[in-house]
Structure 1
Amino acid sequence: MPGTNPISEQHYQDHMTIAGIGAVTGYGWGRETLWHGLLSGKTAATLQPGYGSGRDEQAWVSVVPDGGDPIVSNSRYGRATHESAREAIADATARGWRPGRTVGLLHAIVLGDVANWRDFYTVDHGHRRSRDYMRLLPSTPISVLMQEFGFHGPSMNVSAACSSANVALITAKLWLDSGVADDVICVATDMSATPDMLEHFVRLGAAVGDDDPLSACRPFQEGSRGFCMGEASVTFVLSRSVQRPYVEVLGGGMTNDAYHVVSVDPGHAQIFDCARRALADADVRPEEVRYFNAHGTGTEQCDVAERDLLARLFGDRPQVYSLKPLAGHCQGAAAGVEVAAAALGYDRGVVPAAPIVAPAHPRLLDGPTPCEGGVTVKLSLGMGGHNSMLVLGPAR
């Protein structure tokens, strides 16, 4: 229970650390399933029926398979949110974490329980029992988790488009730095890879469903057409007190382009400002960054922006990788999947990069590569100009 184990000076870290990880992705349920899926070099996406322009057509989508605790929720969304949190808390406990007096919870979301809301209107015609209706509300998963574990700290949802998971992690750091919470559970969930959502992202010229993601989604490579949609729920236990942390969160920065609801500002000024703010917060110089964990959607405007940032701010020194060809673009949970992969990579000595399939940026990693330590920056770019960067370093 919270407050039963005071912070031990022996295991106190100067920076916020990732103490535990839980994951539900297109590869399946569990952190290890994600890790082995990434190391396989194979995409989590499969051909899903009913996702094309006709009901009999198929599209490549990285969908979370059914599973989880049916007592928790009648929807995949609710079950995935809860199971990723349970796994992360159990993992952190096994690594020597004990909850402090005040444990907060942040939930990064964008659209919430899309499939359940659709059924609420199209199947139930807006009428349900009160308890089933309450499960639709974004406040409910937070409440259920706080009740199960007896946490009484601050709790809220965070939404910043496809940058939401990064923003939630940066917000958690602000809470710890200010003393608002002793520990923070940070959950990022997006289960919105439905046929209608895919249709609109394809129309926007961002998503691709008619080809294998490893062929269609080629960040920093020639011939890339866009991203494959994915789903995930990823949870982190964030603390300064744990015996065996995965990685330290050294700093972070956030800006907004204030330019367009979809397009990236072609001048990239606010992306650069975001990166500089993150590095300053972490007290890290650009030349000290070893790995660039890219947003890497495979869209032209994202590729141009990130190549510009790599060249002009980082001097094309960091090694680059993107996980979206493998796990898919999990929207609001995308950075959660990618930070989890980076943290596991530090712990296990491997960078789980996607394989190169076409002429590429000279610093792009080709498949799983030994992790040499050092600093990683994780950039996320969300529609509406939401820019965020997280700075990670080896746990000490």
Structure 2
Amino acid sequence: MSITGIGAVTGYGWGRETFWAGVLSGRSAARFEPGYGLDPATGGWAALVPDGGDPEIGGTRYGRAVFAAVDEAVTDARSRGWVPGRRVGLVHAAVLGDVRHWGDFAGPAGPGFRGRDFLRLLPSTPISVVTQAFGFTGPVMGVSAACSSSNVAMLQARLWFAAGLVDDVVCIASDLPATPDLVRHFAKLGAAVVDVESLQGCRPFQEGSRGFSVGEAAVGFVLTRRADRAYATVLGGAMNSEAHHVVSVEPSHDRIVDCARMALADAGVGPGQIDFFNAHGTGTAQCDRAERDLLTRVFADRPAVYSMKPLVGHCQAASGAVEIAAAALGYERGVIPAPPAVAPAHPRLLDGPSRAGSGLTAKLSLGMGGNNSMVVLGPGSLSRA
């Protein structure tokens, strides 16, 4: 299965090239936003998607972002020679989706809503708009596995291909939930950092890391097994559950290790063939411990390591998709857009944009509730091998 089209709406702005320029700059997408501090009267840092999108699409900012990411991915894939098959499926990864519109509906503006305005709250509505616009008549479903959702959506697409249910799949991962209240709750939980700029607070695999900046994103992919010019190849993957705690990582890390080993087996590769570890990399203490342990136990601390969250923030369901998009674009453009290191770090942590090469990438995502997942990626040339 290959990634042959990419669309992105992120804290950097609207569009794949805006995203790429942003991450290559080494500057975080997070900005100082009024009302986003631990005290509602103060500001804080968050990587919010700016207003934009096609006004003709209508709907909410969230709906426009979903449509824009799919539209850009489809246009991109067509420009690279993709011709949609008869059965194009669509899998949508989301956790909270459009929190702002829910707040409007439940708040003082709610009584003024028209009778059908509540439809915008349903995750099925923007996806229905997409399927109608593009004529996608394959299977459609949503997946939600917390912050592991993007990887899980990729794996769901692979299952559809294996079952012969689709000719192609469009995968869209979207969460634009960063209201001041939600960001404040993440900060109170001890996971989010709002009082300093992202690169200073979020330092995965570095000393002094305190957590992540909350981010927003909608990222679309066209997935096919008939690619002439693929960005990257999805070789395999796996997912499992820790069955341990709503928030805390199971301290032995055994289930995460199991997940990685199953992903490698599914991809048909050994640990020594992985050159890059695209980390979940939230910058929290428990995530750092888990991923450092995984790197040692499974990969013998061999791969180069990087995390995109210091740059794009933690985008919940879309976090893995943002990170997969960076890896896929990096394969074609020969650059891993890693953030700069700002403190003493793991010896294999990349420091700023680095040469990508053609080695394989293990992409780990961990989600609240004990959702673990990994996908194994390779360069697009492998799709023709």
Match of residue 247 from structure 1: 232
Aligned partner of 1:298 in structure 2 is 283
- Which residue of the other structure, out of 118, 122, 134, is the alignment partner of 1:137? 122
Where does structure 1 lack aligned partners over 5 or more consecutive residues?
1-15
Equivalents in 2 of 1:112, 1:321: separation in Å?
A: 27
Letter in 1 for 2:162: D
Partner residue of 2:252? 267
Offset from partner CA, 1:256-300 (integer Å, 9 cap, x none): 000000000001111011101110110010010000000000000
Alignment-mate amino acid for residue 216 of structure 2: E
Query: What is residue 206 of structure 2 aligned with on the other side?
Result: 221
Residue 208 (str. 1) matches residue 160 (str. 2): no
Q: Residue type of the partner of 1:315?
A: A
Q: Which of 175, 179, 184 is the aligned partner of 2:160?
A: 175
Whether contact under 8 Å (1:252, 1:279) holds in the other structure is yes
Q: Is the aligned partner of 1:57 residue 2:36?
A: no
Q: Which residue in the other structure is 2:113 paired with?
A: 128
Kept after mapping to 2: 8 A contact 1:24/1:80: yes
Task: Report the equivalent of 2:312.
Answer: 327
Q: Residue 170 of structure 2 aligns to which amino acid in structure 1?
A: I
| Distance in 1 of aligned mates of 2:279 and 2:231 | 20
1:136 and 1:259 map into 2 onto residues whose CA distance is 31
Q: Indicate conservation of the 8 Å contact 2:168/2:222, yes or no.
A: yes
Rounded Cα–Cα distance in structure 2 between residues aligned with 1:220 and 1:112: 29
Alignment of 1:147-186 (within 5 A): 147-186=132-171
1:241/1:206 CA distance change after superposition, 3 Å:
same
Residue type at the aligned position of 1:215: Q
**Is residue 2:219 matched to residue 1:234?**
yes
Q: Which moved more, 1:125-134 or 1:99-108?
A: 125-134
Calculate the TM-score normalised by the size of structure 2.
Answer: 0.97
Q: Using the alignment, how far apart are the partners of 1:320 and 1:172 within structure 2?
A: 27
Matched residue type, 2:104 = D
Q: Give the CA deviation at 1:206.
A: 0.5
Q: 1:102 maps to which residue? A: 87
Alpha-carbon contact 2:337-2:353 (below 8 Å) kept:
yes
User: What is the aligned-residue RMSD (CA, Å)?
Assistant: 0.9
Q: 1:356 aligns with which of 337, 341, 345?
A: 341
Give how far 1:126 is off: 5.3
**What is the aligned counterpart of 1:344 among 321, 329, 332?**
329
Are residues 1:89 and 2:74 paired? yes
Report how far residue 183 of structure 1 moved: 0.5
Offset at residue 131 of structure 1 (A): 3.1
Quote the offset at 1:149 in angstroms: 0.5
SS in 1 for 2:77: helix
Deviations 1:208-265 (A, max 9, x none): 0000110000000000000000000000000011220101000010000000000000
The equivalent of 2:352 in structure 1 is 367
User: What's the counterpart of residue 21 of structure 1?
Assistant: 6
CA distance in 1, matches of 2:299, 2:137: 42
Query: Cα offset for 1:112?
Result: 1.9
User: Which residue number in structure 2 is paired with residue 33 of structure 1?
Assistant: 18
Between 58-67 and 127-136, report the one with greater CA deviation. 127-136
**Distance (Å, rounded) in 1 between the aligned partners of 2:78 and 2:29:** 29
| d(CA) in 1 for partners of 2:316, 2:203 | 17
Asked whether the 8 Å contact 1:217–1:228 carries over to 2, the reply is yes
Alignment partners' CA distance in 2, 1:210 and 1:182: 47
Amino acid at match of 2:163: S
Q: Distance in 2 between matches of 1:52 and 1:147?
A: 41
In structure 2, C-alpha distance between the alignment counterparts of 1:361 and 1:33, rounded to whole Å: 30
Deviations 1:181-207 (A, max 9, x none): 110000000101111111111111110
Structure 1 residue 127: Cα displacement: 5.7
Which deviates more from structure 2 when the two are superposed, residues 57-66 or residues 131-140?
131-140
By how many angstroms is 1:70 displaced?
Answer: 2.1
Q: TM-score, normalised by structure 1?
A: 0.95
Task: Give the conservation status (yes or no) of the 8 Å contact 1:73–1:135.
Answer: no
SS in 2 for 1:135: helix
| TM superposition shift of 1:342 | 0.1
Partner of 2:99: 114
Corresponding residue pairs, total: 381
Kindly indicate whether the alpha-carbon contact (under 8 Å) linking 2:215 and 2:315 is maintained by their aligned counterparts in 1: yes
Q: Distance in 1 between matches of 2:69 and 2:108?
A: 28
